[in-house]
Structure 1
Amino acid sequence: MLLDIATSNFRVFASEAGLSFVNPSLKTQTPKPPQTWESSTYRVAAVYGANASGKSTLLDALQTLAHAVANPGHTLYAPHAQASADLPTTYDVNFTRTGIRYHYTVEAMPWGIRSEVLHAYPKGTSRLLFQRTQQSADTPIEVKSGPSLTGPTAEVKRLLTATDLLLAVASRYQHKTLAPVSQGLRAGTSIASVNRSDQSTEDWVQWIISRLIENPKRWQGIVKALAHMADLGISDVRVQEEQIPPEVLERMRALLAVGSDDLSTQIPDDALPSVVRLLVFTHSDNEGRTFDLGLGAQSTGTLTWLTTAGPAVNAIARGDLLVVDELDASLHPTLAAAMVRMFKDPDINTTGAQILFSTHDTSLLGNAPSKVLAPGEVWFCEKHGTSSEVFSLADFDTRASNNEQKRYLTGRFGALPDVDFSRVMEAIDIARAPQTAG
């Protein structure tokens, strides 16, 4: 479970910026009965702001760290354009794993990791697990282990390079103490991400195909339920296998051979797939007759819903964090609200799963038909010059009777684009002017 994330000198964030899932009602380092982490934290964090204000960048900071924990050597240094070369990119995150709170900080330089520190709070008091430091690329890596750290730390240190996170190497080495902790921050393990790139959509389509192959009965039921929930007109879904024609396989072998250093290389028959797996959706017409359509015949909205709702259901089942950039892209506001309500409904979300998303959908801030987002679940990004800041709706007057959608759109909180029409006519005149050669 993510408690909070902060970063500095990360792209558009020159100074420290971040957000928190922790409810202000939590006054101690860890919850005291009858409080629990689930009752002391929000299930949702929504990030609003103008285009290019830093919404996606804030999400990227968390995902960058998560990928570095999963993949040793992943680049963490991503400085602000005007930052001094001796200023590190920093990450500061609090999270829980198996009910224990951890505080993890990282300082990244162009040459690698300058500092990496992990504390645990098993009984509400901070305990050092490890502190890793390196002053420059030419100095040795120093690792200080806390008294409660058990496992092959010396072996992990021998494998460590300047660009690796110790937590990532420890995870790969199956360190007794650190490997389980790392699962709370690993991309693809406890943190999943969805964005609106073609590659992300294709990756999640392939993920759905894999789930349908592994457990067709279960995942056919899930996809059909999600399609019914969104009123997509889909009554069934299945994976269809089609043989790849022999001549296509031969051309693929030829292309692979050309790309090899050894032109005499023979590509084994089993090195190439002999079948292609496709998603097929069953639809019904007004007369109740059914017909099948492939993935390419589905609308953008259908693909967006399935490749977002599918990962959401998986996150809720596992108790994971789902990070979604532009939740409202190609989704009807009713479906975006439904996605949020899935995570907020304690009868549906029984695992403490969370969703962190950016959006322009202001209807989520309104009161009709009912308020979807609480003030502590709403964050704003605002850019000033070349740097952005992040602040919470909870920092403002947030009486229950307020219409936060109207207040936001009228500029009460900032984080809106400053639309300037003063040069529109100039642009139109330029567009109208006849083009000249050269």
Structure 2
Amino acid sequence: MLLSFRVGNHRSLWEEQQLNLTPVYEADRPEGTAWEAVPVAAVFGANAAGKSNVVDALRFMRHMVVASHREAEPGGGIERKPFALDSEGAESASWYVVDLALEGVRHTYGFSIDSDRVVDEWLYSYPHGRRRKIFQRDENGISFGDAVPEKELQLVGSITEPNTLFMSVAARSRQESVLPVYMWFSHALSIKDRPLWWASSAATGLLSDVDRAASVVSLLRAADLGIEDAGLRKRFVDVKTSRSTGGTVTWTFRDLSKDAGPGSDEADMWQEEVWIAQRGRNGVTRLGLGEQSEGTRMLLAYSGPVLDALDTGGLLVIDEVDASLHPKLTAHLIKLFQEPQTNPHGAQLILTTHDASLLGRSGGEEILKRDQVWFVEKNEYGETSLFPLSDFKPRQEENRERRYLGGSYGAVPFLSDERFEAAVAARGRTNGEETGE
């Protein structure tokens, strides 16, 4: 589980900001769980306040861990995204740190970089609550703890370029001491943002897996969209018929559950397509994926990452979830992570959103607990601050949606009616001058 994430000097995150997922209110803990971190965290804030930059920072850290060993050119520097509204941003280091609970053991991994090289990098574990150094890298080189194979790690260090993470090279060399953290980044952490363009391919992959298809259909049914079933069919083009009809291509459809072959040599092309069976007044009708709403397609696209996280205890991060899903669908996904019956492995979900209704209730129950709500806002210098609802000591029964919209927590846009009116009036004068009216 992710216990916390810290970042500094990344896009609008100038000073160090921390997303701390350690539970604050014991009374809000899901019954029957002993999770070391909250299963859900939602980040609220105005447009351009920095919500997506928090996600981008975690995505950047993941990319560095997983790919720096193969993408960094010797002497090529590091392509990073420092704070651009202060001249010191480009000159100062950027840093990224995670605290993880892996198989009951806490690990802390982090690094700082500038545009040329890795400045610092470190990995510690805490078996039995005591800190154990695995490695620490600084300007003087790399040092190792007593309980790791120093000779092997020194060899790895000798082939690690200045602009490459030691973690990446050591993991590719199958060094056991770093693999748990590396595998969390490479396999347990999934970051998604508005994946409509890959909804069709994602759905095809999910429904072609017999074991996973049943779970996907169950998730769609539970969302109460009127969906009864889903599956795949193959679409064939009869090239011979196409030529004989003056170039018109004839398509036929066959379910993949049946014999998909055309039975002749005339079919040179085929394509898998998703069908969704939906309730209507006169029964159930199969429709193509393109005939579904964007929300249905997005839910189908997200169902794979959601089920993967729940099955493995991973972390799923969804940026701007309200741009993809209706609030009720989002609340449904959140509930899957909140309850141990559907989340037996302690999977986590992090969302960024504008949707204040998620601060309310669904079916009489809180959608988000008090220690699962975070806010971002920018100051007059373009610097993002990240802070939790728990800083405001909220009562369990208070109407958090109303208080947020009323500005009690900050992180809402300041709208000036006078400025809007002046802008519209100025536009009208300009248009009149240009048209000679």
Normalising TM by the smaller chain, what interval? 0.7 to 0.9
Give the counterpart letter for 1:19 in structure 2. Answer: L
Does residue 417 of structure 1 match 2:410? no
The residue that corresponds to 1:407 in the other structure is 403
Does residue 238 of structure 1 match 2:231? yes
Alignment of 1:83-94 (within 5 A): 83-84=87-88, 85-94=90-99
Does residue 308 of structure 1 match 2:302? yes
Shift of 1:221: 1.0
Shift of 1:160: 1.6
1:38–1:352: 8 Å Cα contact kept in structure 2?
no
Shift of 1:38: 4.1
The residue that corresponds to 2:243 in the other structure is none
Give the counterpart letter for 1:69 in structure 2. Answer: V
Does residue 41 of structure 1 match 2:44? no
153 and 205 in structure 1: CA distance in 2 versus 1, 3 angstrom threshold: farther
Q: Which is further off, 274-283 or 14-23?
A: 274-283
234 and 110 in structure 1: CA distance in 2 versus 1, 3 angstrom threshold: same
Please give the per-residue CA displacement for 1:45-81, whole angstroms capped at 9, x wherever unaligned. 1101111111111111112111221112475632101
Name which of 168, 191, 194 aligns with 1:193. Answer: 191
The residue that corresponds to 1:18 in the other structure is 18
1:113–1:162: 8 Å Cα contact kept in structure 2?
yes
Give, in whole Å, the separation in 1 of the partners of 2:17 and 2:44: 14
1:65–1:76: 8 Å Cα contact kept in structure 2?
no
Name which of 352, 366, 372 aligns with 1:371. Answer: 366
The residue that corresponds to 1:77 in the other structure is 80
Give, in whole Å, the separation in 2 of the partners of 1:116 and 1:193: 23
The residue that corresponds to 1:356 in the other structure is 350
Runs of 4+ in 1 over 6 A off after TM superposition: 244-247
Name which of 329, 337, 352 aligns with 2:331. Answer: 337
Q: Considering fraction of residues, name the structure with more helix.
A: 2
181 and 37 in structure 1: CA distance in 2 versus 1, 3 angstrom threshold: farther
2:310–2:347: 8 Å Cα contact kept in structure 1?
yes
The residue that corresponds to 1:280 in the other structure is 275
Please give the per-residue CA displacement for 1:84-125, whole angstroms capped at 9, x wherever unaligned. 133101112101222211111210110121111111101111
Aligned residues: 389
2:6–2:18: 8 Å Cα contact kept in structure 1?
yes
Give, in whole Å, the separation in 2 of the partners of 1:367 and 1:180: 37
The residue that corresponds to 2:141 in the other structure is 142
Give, in whole Å, the separation in 2 of the partners of 1:78 and 1:370: 40
Q: Please give the secondary structure, in 2, of the residue aligned with 1:177.
A: coil
The residue that corresponds to 2:101 in the other structure is 96
Give, in whole Å, the separation in 1 of the partners of 2:237 and 2:124: 53
Name which of 118, 123, 129 aligns with 2:123. Answer: 118
Task: Compute the TM-score of the two structures, normalised by the length of structure 2.
Answer: 0.82
Q: Please give the secondary structure, in 2, of the residue aligned with 1:238.
A: strand
2:36–2:101: 8 Å Cα contact kept in structure 1?
no
Give the counterpart letter for 2:94 in structure 1. Answer: T
Give, in whole Å, the separation in 1 of the partners of 2:108 and 2:87: 26
Give, in whole Å, the separation in 1 of the partners of 2:206 and 2:417: 50
Give, in whole Å, the separation in 2 of the partners of 1:38 and 1:66: 27
Give, in whole Å, the separation in 2 of the partners of 1:316 and 1:162: 37
1:64–1:76: 8 Å Cα contact kept in structure 2?
no
Please give the per-residue CA displacement for 1:358-397, whole angstroms capped at 9, x wherever unaligned. 1112122125632222221111101002101011110112
Q: Please give the secondary structure, in 2, of the residue aligned with 1:118.
A: strand
Does residue 382 of structure 1 match 2:377? yes
Q: Please give the secondary structure, in 2, of the residue aligned with 1:279.
A: strand
Q: Please give the secondary structure, in 1, of the residue aligned with 2:365.
A: coil
Q: How large is the Cα RMSD of the aligned pairs?
A: 2.5
Q: Please give the secondary structure, in 2, of the residue aligned with 1:399.
A: coil
124 and 43 in structure 1: CA distance in 2 versus 1, 3 angstrom threshold: same
Does residue 299 of structure 1 match 2:298? no
Give the counterpart letter for 2:398 in structure 1. Answer: N
2:25–2:371: 8 Å Cα contact kept in structure 1?
no
Task: Compute the TM-score of the two structures, normalised by the length of structure 1.
Answer: 0.82
Shift of 1:416: 0.6
Name which of 56, 60, 63 aligns with 2:59. Answer: 63
The residue that corresponds to 1:268 in the other structure is none
Name stretches of at least 5 consecutive residues in structure 2 with no aligned partner.
27-31, 73-77, 241-267
The residue that corresponds to 1:321 in the other structure is 315
Name stretches of at least 5 consecutive residues in structure 1 with no aligned partner.
27-35, 135-140, 248-272
Q: Which is further off, 307-316 or 344-353?
A: 307-316
2:33–2:340: 8 Å Cα contact kept in structure 1?
no
Shift of 1:344: 0.6
Please give the per-residue CA displacement for 1:122-160, whole angstroms capped at 9, x wherever unaligned. 1111111111224xxxxxx82211112237313322332
Percent identity for Structure 1 against Structure 2: 31
